[in-house]
């Protein structure tokens, strides 16, 4: 059955309405407009709470469920069961947010797809329908400074798209000495999508930031959740300076990885997800890399021997390059063009046999993140 993530958003924990939920026994979900919240109870029932305070009711699911499943209650009252493999993090006392974010291969694929229609184009204006999309400078200054900027190239830093800009030579602003290079950075976050469209094509209600090109086309930043961010800076490091090295760059050697690993005492899964230590790797590719290297996700970073470090280094680079070859992974409606989900070794394969040894793939939670590994190949 297909996964469904498009109705997940930030909602209140309805357990505070009088139902006592044990730790790890509840999943909080909601629809796109946040009108309802659903909590999965330990007995397989679902507690529904609509927008009216105090109005809660119980509904029995068609089948018993556990913590690894989430339930959508359709408008007709029927229940559909979907596998739950997304991760969540607690926000405050009574809010949870389900997260699913593009990782390095998905962002790299997006960069490559945008180069042909964007490089060489002059930005004549920008429409900002959601002011909080603009992280820096202020929306007013952003609009002033982005005008007449020409896109010279597009690269990637970690999970950021980086548009290298210069003042167009035909612009009157050049006569005023405004020739400094600037950078437009975009972070897609959970639900961001970038598309180049003809200016006269219908706009979606979630097209929150729109860059107008001189050739009559538009770069549209569609962002259902509104978590995405846009930056216009003179120095990329103003935004990305805190990030760790790029795992696919030539300067990222096995020796360099070993130095970083040895300087920290962290479980490897946690280490790989720390963007300040290694940039761009997310939940999917951390699991896949560790499996390919045959290293357990709970092993500590400073416990790896030189041979283990080399295996992990090769595995990270091979896993990311292979995913880029497949245009990334499509695990939800936001990013539909990937194919690498058809090549997962352990991610999303709980209880299925390992392709290497035949032992079952296990799923645990580490630091609030789904973690998949082979019970045979990856021993502690």
Q: In what order do the strands lie in the sheet with 207-213?
A: 134-136, 229-233, 182-187, 160-167, 149-157, 122-128, 207-213, 217-223, 192-198
Among 102, 105, 247, 297, the one annotated catalytic: 102
Active site residue 103: yes
Q: How many CB atoms lie within 10 A of CB 299?
A: 19
Instruction: Name the active-site residue from 85, 103, 106, 288.
Output: 103
Show the tokens assigned to 187. 């972070």
Catalytic residue selected from 150, 159, 269, 294: 159
Whether 180 is catalytic: no
Active site residue 116: no
CA 311/CA 329 separation, integer angstroms: 23
The secondary structure of the chain, three-state, reads CCCCCCCCCCEECHHHHCCCCCCCCCCEEECCCCCEEEEECCCCEEEEEECCCCCEEEEECCCCCCCCEEEEECCCCCEEEEECCCEEEECCCCEEEEECCCCHHHHHHHHHHHHHHHCCCEEEEEEECCHHHEEECCHHHHHHHHCCEEEEEEEEECCEEEEEEEECCCCHHHHHCCCCCEEEEEECCCCEEEEEEECCCCCCCCEEEEEEECCCEEEEEEECCCCCEEEEECCCHHHHCCCCCCCCCCCCCHHHHHHHHHCCCCEHHHHHHCCCCCCCCCHHHHHHHHHHHCCCCCCEHHHCCHHHHHHHHHHHHHHHHHHHHCCCCCCCCCCCCCCHHHHCCCCCCCCCECCCCCCEEEEEEECCEEEEEECCCCCC
Which among 150, 189, 345, 369 is annotated as catalytic? 369
Q: Is 102 considered catalytic here?
A: yes
Residue 375 CB-half CA count within 13 A: 12
Could you give the residue numbers annotated as active site?
102-103, 159, 369
């Amino acid at each position: 059955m297909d996964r469904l993530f498009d109705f997940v958003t930030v909602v209140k924990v309805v357990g505070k309405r009088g139902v006592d939920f044990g730790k790890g026994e509840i999943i909080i979900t909601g629809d796109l407009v946040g009108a309802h919240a659903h909590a999965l109870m330990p007995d397989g029932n679902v507690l529904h709470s609509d927008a009216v305070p105090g109005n809660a009711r119980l509904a029995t699911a068609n089948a018993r469920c556990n913590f690894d499943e989430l339930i959508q209650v359709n408008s007709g009252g029927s229940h559909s069961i979907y596998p739950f493999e997304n991760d969540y993090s607690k926000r405050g006392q009574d809010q949870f947010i389900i997260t699913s974010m593009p990782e390095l291969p998905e962002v790299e694929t997006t960069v490559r797809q945008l180069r042909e229609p964007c490089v060489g184009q002059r930005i004549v204006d920008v429409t900002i329908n959601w002011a909080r999309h603009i992280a820096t400078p202020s929306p007013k200054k952003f609009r002033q400074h982005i005008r007449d900027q020409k896109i010279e190239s597009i690269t990637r830093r970690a999970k950021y798209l980086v548009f290298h800009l210069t003042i167009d030579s035909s612009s009157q602003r050049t006569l005023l000495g405004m020739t400094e290079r600037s950078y437009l950075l975009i972070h897609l976050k959970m639900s961001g999508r970038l598309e180049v469209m003809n200016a006269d094509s219908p706009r979606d209600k979630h097209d929150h930031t729109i860059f107008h090109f001189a050739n009559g086309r538009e770069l549209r930043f569609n962002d259902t959740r509104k978590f995405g961010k846009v930056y216009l800076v003179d120095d990329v490091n103003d935004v990305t300076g805190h990030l760790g090295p790029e795992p696919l760059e030539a300067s990222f050697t096995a020796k360099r990885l070993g130095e970083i690993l040895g300087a920290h005492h962290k479980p490897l899964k946690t280490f790989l997800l720390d963007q300040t230590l290694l940039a761009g790797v997310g939940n999917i590719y951390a699991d896949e890399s560790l499996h390919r290297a045959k290293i357990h996700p709970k092993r500590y970073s400073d416990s790896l021997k030189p041979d283990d470090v080399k295996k992990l280094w090769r595995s990270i680079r091979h896993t990311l390059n292979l995913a880029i070859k497949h245009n990334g992974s499509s695990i939800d409606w936001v990013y539909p063009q990937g194919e690498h989900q058809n090549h997962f070794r352990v991610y999303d394969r709980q209880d299925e046999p390992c392709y290497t040894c035949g032992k079952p793939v296990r799923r645990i939670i580490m630091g609030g993140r789904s973690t998949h590994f082979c019970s045979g190949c990856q021993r502690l």
